[in-house]
Amino acid sequence: MLKVYAPDASKILRRFSAGETAELLGISASHLRKLHFEERIPEVETSAGGRRSYALADINAIRDALETAARAAGKPTGQFRPGRRPGDPLQVLSFLNFKGGSGKTTSSIHVAQRLALKGYRVLAVDIDPQASLTTLFGYRPEYDFLDSGTIYDALRYDEPVPIAQVIRKTYFDGLDLAPGGLILQEFEHETPQALIAQVTPPFFARMAAVLAEVEAEYDVVVIDCPPQLGYMTMSALCASTGVLVTVVPNMLDIASMSQFLQMTSSLLEVVSGAGASMEFDFLRFLINRYEPHDGPQQQMVAFLRQLFGDEVMVTTMLKSTAISDAGLTQQTLYEIERAQFHRTTYDRAVESLNLVNDEVESLIAKAWGR
Looking at residues 278 to 307 of the shown chain, list those that interact with ligand ATP (rule: CB under 6 A). Answer: 288-289
Question: If binding means CB under 5 A, how many residues of this protein chain bind Mg ion?
Answer: 3
**288, 106 contact by CB (below 8 A):** yes
Strand duo 122-126 + 175-178: pairing: parallel
**287, 308 contact by CB (below 8 A):** no
Among 151-159, 273-281, 304-312, 317-325, which window interacts with ligand ATP (CB under 6 A)? 317-325
DSSP string spanning 190-225? HHHHHHHTT-SS-HHHHHHHHHHHTGGG-SEEEEE-
Nearer to Mg ion, 105 or 357 (CB): 105
Nearer to Mg ion, 105 or 240 (CB): 105
Specify the DSSP element, H or E, that contains 177: strand 175-178
Number of H helices, E strands in the chain: 14, 9
100 binds, among Mg ion, ligand ATP, none (CB under 5 to 8 A by kind): ligand ATP
Nearer to Mg ion, 98 or 157 (CB): 98
Nearer to ligand ATP, 135 or 241 (CB): 135
Query: Angle of helix 185-196 relative to helix 231-239, nearest 10 degrees?
Result: 80
Determine the residue type at 164: A
Q: According to CB under 6 A, which one of 21, 60, 94, 105 is a site residue for ligand ATP?
A: 105
Minimum Å gap between C-beta 183 and ligand ATP is 17
Check residue 228 for interaction with ligand ATP (CB under 6 A).
Answer: no
Nearer to ligand ATP, 21 or 331 (CB): 331
The CA distance from 122 to 289, in Å, is: 25
Check residue 132 for interaction with Mg ion (CB under 5 A).
Answer: yes
Where do contacts with ligand ATP occur on this chain (CB under 6 A)? 100-106, 128, 132, 227, 246, 288-289, 317, 319-320, 323-324, 327
Where do contacts with Mg ion occur on this chain (CB under 5 A)? 104-105, 132
